[in-house]
Chain A
Amino acid sequence: MKKYVIRRLFTVIPVLWLVSVLVFSLIHLVPGDPVLVILGTTAEKAQVESMRHKLGLDRPILVQYGTWVAGLLRGDLGRSIISDEPVMEMILRRMPVTLTVAAAALLLSLSMSIPTGILSALRHNTYTDYVFMGLVILAVSMPSFWLALLFILLFSVQLKLLPMMGYVSIFTDLWEGLRYLVLPAMSLAFILAALVARMTRSSMLEVLREDYIVTALSKGTPRRFIVFKHALKNAFAPVLTIIGFQVGFLLGGTVVIEDIYSIPGVGRLIFTAITNRDYPVVQGCILMVTIVYVFVNAAVDLAYAYFDPRVSFDRK
């Protein structure tokens, strides 16, 4: 088991390396001269040269990459073109906010979806099942930012229940923080909940058909143990994979959601940076968020082995 953990963590390294290469090359994908794009075509030559030097674009590509990675490993992502703040600091300041929203969305969606999925599986092919699965299909089709706007319309404007935008940390003020967290979390949670509910249902259905469930029955195991111990543990593994994958959509979706709700997170930072052509910030943000995602996926893989012990032993 330990070997499996180590092996899995090791595969992260080459992927992270390639991710860094891709992020690094972003700035070089700019058609034309990135410096001119940043400063505008009317900029003075001196300004252009100084900016080029500042961004390190006047050096050979490999040197650029090397310096960048070296900085990365030191925790130095460069400085913002606009504010000259260290990018890493800017990100670290906002990361907790984004992570809170994402975590809230995740918790909310899991608490909705897993019971729904189990219930649907147990009441397979009945009215309950059809209603839930119908809702699931609808939920999966709605863009999260549209949902966000609709929620604002309903809860903030019509019902005046919840604030339209802004953010208060739950660590400063739990109740107020929660009020500001509800709508953004809900906007993101629905889609994730739908996918998880569906996978939980189909996974449970498959597991409940397995022979070992019959064995458990023949042992005289009470029904709730059969569902919640024997079946659920086995059914959860594929659900976990879906969750891992969907955290990606969560992390990507926060950009839009933070913009709509004016939440001071990493997503909003990326967006303003893009508008300002603040490439170091853009690169830094994408890199950091992706690194988080890579580790989330690695954690999911490792957790998978807990739910399905067969995995850690036979690896292809």
Chain B
Amino acid sequence: MDHLLEVRDLSVSFHLLEGIVPAVAKVDLVLDEGEILGIVGESACGKSVTARSIMRIIPTPPGRINSGRVLFEGRNLMELPEEEMQEVRGEKISMIFQEPMTSLNPAFTVGDQISEVFRFHHRTSKAEAWEKAVEELRRVEIPDPEKRARSYPHELSGGMRQRVMIAIALACRPRILIADEPTTALDVTIQAQILKLIAQLQREIGMSVMLITHNLGIVASLAQRVAVMYAGRIVEEGPAEIIFNDHHHPYTRGLLRSVPRLDLPQRDLQEIQGTVPRLNDLPEGCTFSNRCDFVMDLCRRQESELRPVGEGHVSRCWLDQRVW
């Protein structure tokens, strides 16, 4: 079966004054037609860098893509010349970002920023592009779209700005939408609205979504499959149901235990001992070894590959089965 998007062996590092930081290491991901993949993890685990690397919008100094293939529509995106990559971005694969306040250009109207996508990718005329932009605003449920199109970003609320971002991203009906923490900066009630909108549009357009977040609740409600990242690696991946109820990796366990859940009997929140290591100062062997409750000698010496532990379920851990 052909996947829509295949990421193989992606490794990205940043060359900074403090040294070389390996942000993403050996990441493998697949995304299928029409599915929502959730990528979860805490800050600095590499999920954003992964997404931006797929889009090739990492600033290349100081960043560097050391290895990796990104297979999409029969081509390796990593090998495409920049002009062809520009045609992919915004049209076949789009991205929305965390901070709607700073992610929209303050000097141009909202309508202009949406029109641009049509004018670049479809060579639409200015007038026609504007009309289509208004239509897109209507689609993302912004009231009074004709008037709103002439507004500047700072005149809109956070929720509306995020809708504008979605409108920009979906204007050309891309096949893949990468959503990097789309609701983190929004108020809780607005979060729900935006997520609902994304889910609805996903069904209407039939696109695939890569949903990146540290909020497990969002993933639980939307994603079909989930990948858990830690310290620049994928540590577990599988169907959402399994990840939440039958997970394997001790980090996933720790993550889920530190989140209050209404569907389970009340218990104390458990924190994972220790802190997330700095990426340029990782422990030997398994990167989670210094915090793991079930660490073995082997773990400290060698990091595991992603091993199959169930149907469509892999885990980067030496344990053969769950031990809790």
Give A residues with C-beta under 8 Å from B.
210-212, 214-223, 225, 230, 233-234, 307-310, 313
Contacts and interface: CB of A to CB of B under 8 A. Distances in A.
B91 A309 contact: no
Counting from the closest, the 10 A-B pairs by CB-CB distance are A220-B90, A220-B89, A219-B90, A211-B102, A212-B105, A218-B95, A233-B107, A220-B86, A211-B103, A217-B57
B120 A212 contact: no
Given A215-B165, A218-B57, A218-B95, A234 B107 contact: yes
B318 interface: no
B107 A219 contact: no
B121 A309 contact: no
A212 B117 CA distance: 14
B120 to A, nearest CB: 6
Contacts of A234: 105-107
Kindly name the residue among A215, A216, A225, A307 whose own CB sees the greatest number of chain B CB atoms within 10 A.
A215
Given A218-B55, A219-B90, A221-B86, 18 more contacts: A211-B97, A211-B99, A212-B104, A215-B103, A215-B104, A216-B105, A218-B97, A218-B169, A219-B120, A220-B87, A220-B88, A220-B89, A230-B105, A309-B106, A309-B152, A309-B154, A310-B154, A313-B154
A214 B103 contact: yes
Contacts of B165: 215
18 contacts: A212-B102, A214-B52, A214-B103, A215-B103, A215-B105, A215-B168, A217-B55, A217-B57, A218-B169, A219-B90, A219-B117, A220-B86, A220-B88, A221-B86, A221-B90, A233-B108, A310-B106, A310-B154
A218 B87 CA distance: 10
B116 interface: yes
Nearest to B51: A218
Contacts of A310: 106, 152, 154
Nearest to B178: A218
Contacts of B83: 222
B44 to A, nearest CB: 18
Nearest to A219: B90
A313 B104 contact: no
A214 B86 contact: no
Given A220-B88, A234-B106, A308-B107, A215 B155 contact: no
Interface magnitude class on chain B? 20 to 34
B94 interface: yes
A162 to B, nearest CB: 41
A215 B97 contact: yes
A272 B165 CA distance: 63
B224 to A, nearest CB: 24
A23 to B, nearest CB: 39
Contacts of A230: 105, 108
Contacts of A308: 106-107
Nearest to A230: B105
B102 A210 contact: yes
A223 B120 CA distance: 12
Interface in B72-108: 82-83, 85-91, 94-95, 97, 99, 102-108
A241 to B, nearest CB: 16
Contacts of B91: 220
A221 B107 contact: no
A309 B107 CA distance: 6
Given A309-B152, A309-B154, A313-B155, A218 B94 contact: yes
B90 A218 contact: yes
Contacts of A220: 85-91, 117, 120-121
Contacts of B99: 211
Interface centre among A223, A307, A309 (most CB of B within 10 A): A309
A310 B76 CA distance: 42
Interface string B109-148: 0000000110011000000000000000000000000000
Nearest to A235: B107
Nearest to B107: A233
A221 B85 CA distance: 10
Contacts of B106: 212, 234, 308-310
A219 B89 contact: yes
Contacts of A313: 154-155
Contacts of B117: 219-220
A122 to B, nearest CB: 13
Q: Which of A211, A216, A219, A308 has the most CB of B within 10 A?
A: A219
